[in-house]
Structure 1
């Protein structure tokens, strides 16, 4: 492969259709970049390369495996010669080449990859027709949400068919069976819909509820059959070092898909984990498989019982139920025994180097020459003796480790003799003081995946370089080998998700605990009022790619707002109460008015001589664009039949407004006011509305990327928004007192969506509300 300068690489990648940004990212990808250069140079001239062929080349370089990469030039030429025309054929070519050590037999390759195979329109129509007969009942029930799953299934039943022709035939059959799409099917149309409906007799409006409920959006499996997930292997297709291993695996599992969610119990789950939970549980569900919750409890120094409990509680809150709950510590004995096997095979050795000496042996800070330590070639029996001494407590922490004898010359750092066991004299939550040596993540993770017969070991892209060492260890021990597959992490703007940083925020009192509503742990989001349905819908609708993505916080908040708009009862609250006395009503006047809910139901609110409005809804300034209450001017009160007019402003000795004297215009010819405001009234003479503490939360960080040193030169802690929490003491109407229970959500009319906080004391009538999200932005709302 010809050596290229950096600008030549960028130009080469742009020539096959990549954007400049994508070309830069690919150039920096240590695994993908050389594969793509090799594929392009093997292709030959790219002067007349079309966009589709360029995409196939990129696909080849992205998907090529370690066992088939030696045949990458051959596959590239097949793309050039128009033998391979689809991503399915490329996947087949890669799989075929994995089993070929010498030259490729063209005839066998063509037959396996469907080269030259043409599936007629009649064959497509027949296969689609048969599928529709089998799935008619489900199709009628789920309608067009079945489109993705159908296409995913037909990819395997009508192999090598033109996917566009298949899609056209499926859409035609769906139209015949179901009729045109309507609001039940088209999520995009629903999002664009701007229709509103009145919820009170005097003009307050809210957005129409989505025609597709959030509960349905939260349960969709469509994303499993799209994008990168649709390309994953079927259970039983993962190649083994010994074919008998797969036969035994299939005998145990009956061919089921088995995934796992493997958190470390050293912290609380956050929004990024919600994506991992949904990917693993939904993928297994889509194929009627199983998902384990496996605690990766191999680091007892950082693990606490509260984390074990919180993790399971969060998973269940999201609506997921593990098939079984397991622990890496369940296998400590077996892991130890396999470490002995590995050592006997001369693939592991006991090392007495310090951490600094290991670092220097791996090239050090200068990334220089790598070399094995002086213990690497010690006799097997000596290493076995030393390993037993480690287990028996002969060595202090840091004096000895068991390292895997891998390949110090491999460019992948995950091959530089990773540590498998270290000495730790730490109490373990589950195994107590039984062990003084503990296996590392690099040693444990892949082996426990194998023990649990995991078919799809899904992890985020920072583990992409670990894939080869994952396979190396499993093959070294000759046990069942799952497939590791990496996808992009989820990151949100204006927050941090690193456990280390979250821990610093909590321990140094920047926030009030792991469930502080300004954080994005799942406990914090729950406390703030986010719903599990909204979180699940959010991560599923994002889809799954192999690229890390940073999502605007506003997108998550919009999904939450959509759901709360469906389910949250309405009530009136004033954040900063200003007393209003209606001078023409008699003392003791109280009448019950109906406040309408979105679903058409109502609850009663008392309207009396004294009401309270929000201080921001009154102005003494002569502003022609201010349409709420001013002296001598009228304003409407939500649900109240007549407007009020301000006649007098009462101030205290310091000039602060303490009361407004107003007229209730019941005897005046009705003129519809320009706007309506919320209010709360006394339920009887001198009995004020319910006092409430209202916590207004906003982004904890000013900048979209607090970790970005260019955005935040002073470091991420200097970016904290000191005004991310503001507390108001307001009044709430009494009509919904019976709904005041922990975690209940409400829409405060004209203000936003709020949730009852755990700091409330219901016996003492102390009510605390957290703002979840504001209402949908409306340029007219403050006029």
Structure 2
């Protein structure tokens, strides 16, 4: 659209503003149309150009049909101010052609001019009447005064900027320049009452309740301006009357996924928007399966979609299927044919594409079947229904408008033949409605008030309205918002299926994917996803969002709710030589530091412990603070620190154990660093062996692996070879059993991925579905005996300043490997 920049500059925009306008995919085409309709292609005065720009940015959906008329009124000089343009739009917003021009002129102030002298006199009179208040409260009254003067009948059609300038000049003449008396006064903060102590888990759950987190999304920005139920005009007022009788004036939305794959992170936004908008307005939301393609639909997708919606915290008012309405849709197709607005077409796919202009976008032409007689079309459509044609041999197309520049008007296909049995209707039907025919009509049949969808359906809005009006049914409003795209992944079902089939990933729920089943398996809480979506808000412009933002919400939630567990990924043995072999202390450890509500558990401390191999270095350095020969470190939750006295190696030169001294004497300084540990205490079952820990990173190296300029060899070539690594020798402290027992008590052992921890200094982890844990045995007996295999997934690393990675390595911090890539 860069070719529009010179045109926009011609009508008075600066080059920079013209460039910014071109980037606005909604405003730019509207502004271009306004310029063309006004006859200003070769330029106009800056004042006129500003008004045309104002018109393009303020025109409403209902008044858009009058855009040519309004553009010409500005070009002719009939509308001279933004106030007049706003009034003109408001007047026409409720009108259908033709226009009563006399009434329009009166409402829009056409022919009325307010001179600078008149503005000056009216302002002077206003100030005289309010002088005492103005002198007492000075410039604090300026804003209210401006609002009040604009409402004066004498100034209704005055230029707003001129009114503001004159008012400020007369304030200055009366009061002089602003001084310290006009400085805003700071309000004294009242002390807040001390909050009652609450569980962190309860507080975190409350703070991310879906109804609370998404509500703010709908009362600011463009979506806050959507019509109220009953406010969308219909071709026949009786349709709205019947609609309101059914809905009672409630907001009704729907989430309509196709059951041909698993939902992805983008669907999380759609779920939040549709369910959230209805919730915010005390309305209801349908979960409607758009099951019009029996070739691609499977029961597992239906089950997964409902499970995912509920996992995110939403409950449908009703679960429906597009197939519920097959008979009604068929009858509406018959109605369309009888009105001469549909025809049976026997063109091939290539022929249809050619008639639409082909790849070179040439002129569009009608096919030979377009003028087929109505009776013949009805007969052939019945033959289609009776199974007397082959698949692909014939379709039913809508007779729309081939001259319209919108491709969604190029005689879209309404019905096609498929002999694949349907999962619900079996072989009852062999003709199936297309998305373009089904979507709007089922919205109508379900009395949807707000059909909320993503921007790729913007062009479909006009054809959506056309079809509803053509068959004379209630017409919902379609409104589009930007879809959610995140970096370093692909969300195309086709691309994911290829990766699954060719073993690049381990199924649709591979934790490296951004399918919602994959994210869930990785341990990301639904509350974090909802918070992520709420933070992004509802934009009208597509953009790519860094996956790190989701990671941050995941960390924030898990930091508040996950119990801490000391876990060693690569253990090395430490023997404390001045403690006896039978030394035993039972230490009480909080499940979360400084949060008593999270509870506590006990672990043994003996003269033999295990620490992370990364927490020891044979060669010390001044900026290294963990364990080294002759160096002292603290052990988390242990009273005294330890000092390394000796390093023992095996025949191959590998460290077999580190010998240390327990510094329990007087005068020992507090250590600079504390490290975590796990005791060796066989009688307590410590340490616990963890069968497998899976460490995940981003799956693709580039932010947009589908961008051929960045990844010329295709997205599969961009897969990060180090996106998963396995640890099979890890161990954990025995607090794990207490945590699992608590988790089973709270959840019934449902959904293994909801068992989450912070592995101290290592990151956040959850149980994987490959874990073998007999929940029934665990409920009635010993959790330890019920656990046959323990497999963990890393959900996200601990947060760390990436600019200090080197220091983090030296001092024991954990690097966030999930960084933004090129």
1:602-613 alignment runs, 5 A limit:
602-613=600-611
Aligned equivalent of 1:732: 732
What is the alpha-carbon distance in structure 1 between the residues aligned to residue 358 and residue 375 of structure 2? 30
8 A contact 1:343–1:380 mirrored in 2: yes
Q: Secondary structure at the match of 1:765?
A: strand
Say if 1:272 and 1:21 are closer, same or farther in 2 by CA, change over 3 A. Answer: farther
Q: Out of 741, 752, 770, which is 2:763 matched to? A: 752
> May I ask how many residue pairs the two structures share in their alignment?
699
8 A contact 1:68–1:97 mirrored in 2: no
Say if 1:180 and 1:626 are closer, same or farther in 2 by CA, change over 3 A. Answer: same
Aligned equivalent of 2:794: 771
1:58-69 alignment runs, 5 A limit:
58-60=56-58, 66-69=64-67
What is the alpha-carbon distance in structure 1 between the residues aligned to residue 657 and residue 18 of structure 2? 63
**CA drift at 1:757:** 1.2
* Bigger mean CA offset, 101-110 vs 561-570: 101-110
8 A contact 2:370–2:399 mirrored in 1: yes
Aligned equivalent of 1:467: 461
8 A contact 2:38–2:68 mirrored in 1: no
Say if 1:373 and 1:608 are closer, same or farther in 2 by CA, change over 3 A. Answer: same
* Bigger mean CA offset, 492-501 vs 440-449: 492-501
8 A contact 2:5–2:15 mirrored in 1: no
* Bigger mean CA offset, 17-26 vs 574-583: 17-26
TM-score, reference length from structure 2:
0.79
Q: Out of 542, 562, 568, which is 1:548 matched to? A: 542
What is the alpha-carbon distance in structure 2 between the residues aligned to residue 246 and residue 710 of structure 1? 51
Say if 1:712 and 1:351 are closer, same or farther in 2 by CA, change over 3 A. Answer: same
* Large movers: runs of 4+ above 6 Å: 27-30, 39-44, 48-51, 181-184, 209-212
8 A contact 2:5–2:22 mirrored in 1: no
Extract unaligned runs of 5+ from structure 2.
Answer: 115-121, 127-155, 161-186, 194-199, 744-751, 774-785, 812-822
8 A contact 1:579–1:611 mirrored in 2: yes
**CA drift at 1:40:** 8.5
8 A contact 1:580–1:662 mirrored in 2: yes
**CA drift at 1:15:** 2.1
Please tell me whether Structure 1 or Structure 2 has the larger radius of gyration of its CA atoms: 2
**CA drift at 1:485:** 0.7
8 A contact 2:60–2:93 mirrored in 1: no
1:633-644 alignment runs, 5 A limit:
633-644=631-642
TM-score, reference length from structure 1:
0.83
Aligned equivalent of 1:203: none
Say if 1:250 and 1:676 are closer, same or farther in 2 by CA, change over 3 A. Answer: same
Q: Secondary structure at the match of 1:472?
A: helix
8 A contact 1:637–1:677 mirrored in 2: yes
**CA drift at 1:211:** 12
Say if 1:179 and 1:338 are closer, same or farther in 2 by CA, change over 3 A. Answer: farther
Say if 1:456 and 1:79 are closer, same or farther in 2 by CA, change over 3 A. Answer: farther
Q: Secondary structure at the match of 2:589?
A: strand
Q: Out of 469, 489, 495, which is 1:495 matched to? A: 489
Q: Out of 408, 416, 425, which is 1:414 matched to? A: 408
Please give the per-residue CA displacement for 1:238-270, whole angstroms capped at 9, x wherever unaligned: 111111111111122111111111110111111
Please give the per-residue CA displacement for 1:596-637, whole angstroms capped at 9, x wherever unaligned: 224123221221121111111111223322211111111111
**CA drift at 1:752:** 1.3
Please give the per-residue CA displacement for 1:82-134, whole angstroms capped at 9, x wherever unaligned: 31587xx68735623545546362356449xxx99x9xx9xxxxxxxxxxxxx
8 A contact 2:686–2:734 mirrored in 1: no
Aligned equivalent of 2:701: 702
Q: Secondary structure at the match of 2:470?
A: helix
What is the alpha-carbon distance in structure 2 between the residues aligned to residue 68 and residue 644 of structure 1? 82
Q: Secondary structure at the match of 2:496?
A: helix
What is the alpha-carbon distance in structure 1 between the residues aligned to residue 489 and residue 269 of structure 2? 16
Q: Secondary structure at the match of 2:722?
A: coil
Extract unaligned runs of 5+ from structure 1.
Answer: 122-159, 163-177, 185-205
**CA drift at 1:571:** 1.2
What is the alpha-carbon distance in structure 2 between the residues aligned to residue 557 and residue 761 of structure 1? 28
Q: Does 1:508 align with 2:517?
A: no
Aligned equivalent of 2:374: 380
Q: Secondary structure at the match of 1:96?
A: coil
What is the alpha-carbon distance in structure 2 between the residues aligned to residue 588 and residue 668 of structure 1? 23
Aligned equivalent of 1:284: 278
Say if 1:284 and 1:92 are closer, same or farther in 2 by CA, change over 3 A. Answer: farther
**CA drift at 1:11:** 3.6
Q: Out of 93, 96, 101, which is 1:95 matched to? A: 93
Q: Secondary structure at the match of 2:578?
A: coil
